[in-house]
Structure 1
Amino acid sequence: MKTDDLIAMLASGPDVAAAPPPGARWRAAGTLSAGVLGSVALMAMLLGVRPNLEQLARLPDFWIKVGFVACLCLAAWQASRRLCMPGAPTRALPLLLALPLLLMWALGALILQEAPAGQRAELFWGATWRSCPLLIATLSLPILAAVLRLMRQLAPTRLRLAGAAAGFAAGALAALVYCLHCPELAASFVGFWYVLGMLVPTAIGAALGPRVLAW
């Protein structure tokens, strides 16, 4: 077959995704797992697992918090994936990220509205608002390093945006780890202070993206 014929056949045929190198998915899973384990180890050293975690896990509010953070993890991971695939559709990503946020904020606003006036401040500020965002940001650092390393092996083109997505994914996973320690359950607290903690690694990722992800 002539070279020109081969090129024409490939151009006119169905889209064929490039096959990843053998073992690439296992290495990616290992890299991400190492980042998450690093975050868990950091949480265990700095904070420890909540002594009454078993009791908290019996409350619906605990699972609402975990479900919210897990949804953000999935949305952020999907955004990171697509931003590393040139030509992948990204139009739906803002809605994918915004949907769990809007639902949590609506729930938080409803709870605040129905709560007695004297309890509203406690529901929003909780007892750990000073430390919560900083702790989530700190726990996200091993995961951020792992996600950026994975992204370097792919082909991101919008480097700052890809770095921001990596940071948000790291922050969401770190928030999930932080749930093992955090005593706060109020939707208004989680919807604000947890998200603020996730935005710190998002900003770090956006700053590092053009330098770390250039190829």
Structure 2
Amino acid sequence: MKTDDLIAMLASGPDVAAAAPPGTHWRAAGTVGAGLLASVALMAMLLGVRPNLEQLALLPDFWIKVGFVACVCLAAWHVSRRLCVPGASTRALPLLLALPVLLMWALGAIILNEAPPEQRAELFWGATWRSCPLLIATLSLPILAAVLRLMRQLAPTRLRLAGAAAGFAAGAMAALVYCLHCPELAASFIGFWYVLGMLVPTAIGATLGPKVLAW
């Protein structure tokens, strides 16, 4: 059963149904929920919730940040699920992942262009650029473990790609958790440094995928 020939057959066979096994959704919710709770606990222990979060939540930029990260989460989770179903179409998945990022980059570019020249560096670098990607990557680790465990119970065939998708989904969910602490609101900051933080677990997942997802 655990052979490259079987994987290739499942990936290319015309009669394979692109449907997840029964019970997958409940199992996914429980497994990923546990990883997400562990990430929240880690954030609370290491960083804490920002004391002025209520004031930040009154600002439109805060909800633009949260909305962007939430859209990336949904897109990355959908991609991860599709890569666990042999025979499922994946043609549109890169565009699905790229769309929210490109929109945030466009918004950031507009804001930078309209800002006075002396403020542009601050809008891009913020005050936490050194720690932001590392903290997102750290918070993603329990979620990455949960998503990889879930994928291992399913049937991914492109193991490195599936691992990378798991890492990106974990990074996006960790970024959502990190929003409870992060003071940064500029679209140019979020579009670059948050995405960089998501790419760290993506690289980790791509490395681990062939090792932990083989079946």
TM-score (norm 1): 0.90
* Runs of 4+ residues over 6 Å off in structure 1: none
CA distance in 2, matches of 1:26, 1:112: 43
CA distance in 2, matches of 1:120, 1:210: 42
2:37 is the counterpart of 1:30: no
RMSD, aligned α-carbons: 1.4
CA distance in 2, matches of 1:66, 1:192: 15
Q: Do 2:82 and 2:88's aligned partners in 1 also have CA atoms closer than 8 Å?
A: yes
Runs of 5+ in structure 2 lacking a partner?
Answer: 1-14
> One-letter code of the match for 1:118?
E
2:49 is the counterpart of 1:58: no
> Which residue matches 2:175?
175
2:185 is the counterpart of 1:160: no
User: What does residue range 65-214 of structure 1 map to in structure 2 within 5 Å?
Assistant: 65-214=65-214
CA distance in 2, matches of 1:97, 1:86: 20
CA distance in 1, matches of 2:203, 2:37: 23
Question: Deviations along 1:24-50, whole A, 9 cap, x unmatched?
Answer: 533321111110000000000000000
> One-letter code of the match for 1:109?
A
> Which residue matches 1:40?
40
> One-letter code of the match for 1:64?
I
Identity %: 88
Following TM superposition, by how much is the alpha carbon of 1:17 offset from its aligned partner in structure 2, in angstroms?
Answer: 4.7
CA distance in 1, matches of 2:18, 2:194: 40
Q: Do 2:18 and 2:88's aligned partners in 1 also have CA atoms closer than 8 Å?
A: no
- Report SS of the residue matched to 2:130: coil
> One-letter code of the match for 2:156?
P
Q: Would the alpha carbon gap of residues 124 and 107 (structure 1) be closer, same or farther in structure 2, given more than 3 Å must change?
A: same
TM-score (norm 2): 0.90
Number of aligned pairs?
200
CA distance in 1, matches of 2:110, 2:24: 46
- Report SS of the residue matched to 1:84: coil
CA distance in 2, matches of 1:79, 1:25: 15
- Report SS of the residue matched to 2:90: coil
Question: Deviations along 1:144-187, whole A, 9 cap, x unmatched?
Answer: 00000000011000000000000000000000000000000000
Q: Do 2:20 and 2:85's aligned partners in 1 also have CA atoms closer than 8 Å?
A: no
Q: Would the alpha carbon gap of residues 121 and 209 (structure 1) be closer, same or farther in structure 2, given more than 3 Å must change?
A: same
- Report SS of the residue matched to 1:81: helix
CA distance in 1, matches of 2:158, 2:20: 20
Following TM superposition, by how much is the alpha carbon of 1:19 offset from its aligned partner in structure 2, in angstroms?
Answer: 4.5
Question: Deviations along 1:129-156, whole A, 9 cap, x unmatched?
Answer: 0000000000000000000000001100
Q: Would the alpha carbon gap of residues 85 and 119 (structure 1) be closer, same or farther in structure 2, given more than 3 Å must change?
A: same
Following TM superposition, by how much is the alpha carbon of 1:84 offset from its aligned partner in structure 2, in angstroms?
Answer: 0.5
> One-letter code of the match for 1:87?
G
> One-letter code of the match for 1:103?
L
Q: Would the alpha carbon gap of residues 203 and 85 (structure 1) be closer, same or farther in structure 2, given more than 3 Å must change?
A: same
CA distance in 1, matches of 2:19, 2:27: 19
CA distance in 2, matches of 1:126, 1:101: 19
